[in-house]
């Protein structure tokens, strides 16, 4: 694999750096640095999405006919790496990287014409209605039901751990439209306007004290049948397709490397009493760096496959598994580096909006919140146990 850039690619690298320098405000950069979650607050993330859209870069992984930039794998890699180095905000991941590809792959022409431009422009902000109480890893057992009534479905039930549902104006959801011998065969994929009467969103505060996830209740919510993506009862297929893109379409190694770099700089500073001098800390930093190198190589291979339209398949589970485990290793290392100062953490979010002097220096402010938030990495998007099952079945035939 040739990892050197040619003249055109270096010119593109300069273009990306120039775009970031022009459009990334200090407020965006600081907010991103002080956000412990993988999700930026909408006022920050969607401002960046609009800037990308103006440039024609709003959806790097989409086909060019739907607004994608038609980048080569090398250009995609350059863009993601430079974005991570600069500390740009995350856009609405659930719109661009999750429901967008499903609508492109299975949606009607009307759905594509309506929703895709709104995702690109940042007009719509999406949340994901998958998990339910008692239906997380065993998602096929979901009970939220949609009953056909003329040109509408009437939906009753509840979804849980719904990230940013309190911000979103739209949800994509898996709902049960029929019963049969195989639970997976009675599930449909529905697009829901969050302003529809009968929807109630209640906050769930996580271990870090932040309001990121919610429980959403549906009480006789009427949704047009036209909002169903693809065929009735085929939602399980579309949902799995979405999860493969969620798990396998990003470039996580660049951000992980920047996160490790920040921890290493803290370890070398007087703020931590030069924690790097501890053989344990120094060794763990090196071990995580090697893990990131290995992840990076896998991502490059997957990126090339995605560029040719191939579904990432089981390798998406490998990427999700390793990304989650390495993220947790980085955040755990950060807590050990700052030591007893971790006790001074302020469990609140967003940290960039604090209106008082924090108890810790700003360089250390997010270390513990990121660690606490990161406990969910090996759960959301499919637990690590589920990822290993998928790998065993699809790659080893077990």
Q: Does 246 participate in catalysis according to the annotation?
A: yes
Helix (H, G, I), strand (E, B) or coil at 332: helix
What is d(CA 291, CA 325) in angstroms, rounded to the nearest whole number? 10
Which one from 212, 246, 296, 370 is the annotated catalytic residue? Answer: 246
Longest dimension (CA), the chain: 70
Q: Which residues of 37-69 are buried (b: 16+ CB within 10 A; e: fewer)?
A: bbbbbbebbbbbbbbbbeeebbbbbbeeebbbb
Helix (H, G, I), strand (E, B) or coil at 395: helix
Helix (H, G, I), strand (E, B) or coil at 236: helix
Q: How many residues does the chain have?
A: 398
> Tokens 């953490």 label which residue?
345
CB distance 16 to 86 below 8 Å? no
Instruction: Say what angle helices 235-248 and 315-338 make with each other, to 10 degrees.
Output: 50
Closest CA to 98 of 71, 70, 121, 129: 129
Q: How far is CA 278 from the centre of its chain?
A: 34
Instruction: Say what angle helices 315-338 and 384-395 make with each other, to 10 degrees.
Output: 150
Closest CA to 189 of 168, 169, 171, 173: 173
Q: Which are the contacts of 210, defined by CB distance < 8 A and separation ≥ 6?
A: 36, 37, 347, 348, 349, 369, 373
What is d(CA 172, CA 234) in angstroms, rounded to the nearest whole number? 14
Alpha helices, DSSP H, located in the chain:
7-23, 26-33, 42-55, 73-86, 93, 100-106, 109-121, 235-248, 252-267, 279-307, 315-338, 367-373, 384-395
Q: Could you give the C-alpha distances from 324 to 19, 72, 158, 384, 395, in angstroms and in order?
A: 30, 27, 27, 8, 20
Which residues have a catalytic role annotated? 246
């Amino acid at each position: 694999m040739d990892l050197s850039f040619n003249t055109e690619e270096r010119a593109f690298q300069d273009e990306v750096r120039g775009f970031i320098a022009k459009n990334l405000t200090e407020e965006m950069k600081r907010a991103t640095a002080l956000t412990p979650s993988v999700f930026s607050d909408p006022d920050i993330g969607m401002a960046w999405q609009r800037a990308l859209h103006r440039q024609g870069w709003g959806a790097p992984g989409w086909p060019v006919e739907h607004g994608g930039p038609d980048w080569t794998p090398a250009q995609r890699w350059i863009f993601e790496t430079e974005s991570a180095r600069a500390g740009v905000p995350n856009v609405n991941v659930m719109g661009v990287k999750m429901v967008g590809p499903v609508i492109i792959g299975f949606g009607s022409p009307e759905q594509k014409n309506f929703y895709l431009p709104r995702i690109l422009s940042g007009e719509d902000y999406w949340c994901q209605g998958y998990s339910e109480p008692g239906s997380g890893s065993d998602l096929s057992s979901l009970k939220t039901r949609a009953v056909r009534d003329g040109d509408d479905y009437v939906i009753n039930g509840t979804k849980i751990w719904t990230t940013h549902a309190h911000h979103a104006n739209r949800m994509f959801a898996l709902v049960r439209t029929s019963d049969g011998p195989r639970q997976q065969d009675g599930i449909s994929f529905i697009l829901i306007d969050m302003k529809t009467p009968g929807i109630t969103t209640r906050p769930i505060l996580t271990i870090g004290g932040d309001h990121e996830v919610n429980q959403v209740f549906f009480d006789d919510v009427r949704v047009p049948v036209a909002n169903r993506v693809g065929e009735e009862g085929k939602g399980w297929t579309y949902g799995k397709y979405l999860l493969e893109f969620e798990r396998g379409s990003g470039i996580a190694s660049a951000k992980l490397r920047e996160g490790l770099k920040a921890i290493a700089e803290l370890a070398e500073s007087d703020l931590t009493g030069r924690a790097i001098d501890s053989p344990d800390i120094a060794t763990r930093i090196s071990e995580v760096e090697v893990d990131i190198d290995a992840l990076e190589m896998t991502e490059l291979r997957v990126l090339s496959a995605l560029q040719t339209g191939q579904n990432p398949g089981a390798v998406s589970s490998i990427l999700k598994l390793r990304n989650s485990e390495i993220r947790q290793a980085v955040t755990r290392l950060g807590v050990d580096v700052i030591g007893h100062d971790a006790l001074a953490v302020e469990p609140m979010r967003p940290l960039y909006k604090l209106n008082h002097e924090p108890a810790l220096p700003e360089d250390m402010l997010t270390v513990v919140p990121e660690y606490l938030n990161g406990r969910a990495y090996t759960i959301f998007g499919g637990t690590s146990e589920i990822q290993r099952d998928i790998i065993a079945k699809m790659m080893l035939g077990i």
